[in-house]
């Protein structure tokens, strides 16, 4: 499960940077809180996200 949360965080970071978006922009567009986006990107993703895969 940890591997999936790492992939989500890595991909989120890649997309966010490619589109020149801040974590605040992600929060406004998706409703994901800024601290949660940060945790995902640091590859400390929630088990709830990992459990979805």
Q: What angle do CA 13, 48, 19 make, to 5 degrees?
A: 20
Residue 6 structure tokens: 């790492």
Distance CA 23, CA 46 (A): 17
Domain ranges of the chain: 2-51
pLDDT of 52 higher than 70: no
Predicted model pTM: 0.64
6-48 pLDDT tens trace: 688 888 899 999 999 999 999 999 999 999 999 888 875 555 5
Please give the C-alpha separations between residue 12 and each of 5, 22, in angstroms, as whole numbers.
10, 11
């Amino acid at each position: 499960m940890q591997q999936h949360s790492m992939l989500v965080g890595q991909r989120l970071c890649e997309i966010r940077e490619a589109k020149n978006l801040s974590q605040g922009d992600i929060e406004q567009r998706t409703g994901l809180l800024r601290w949660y986006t940060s945790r995902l990107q640091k590859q400390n993703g929630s088990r709830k996200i990992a459990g979805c895969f």
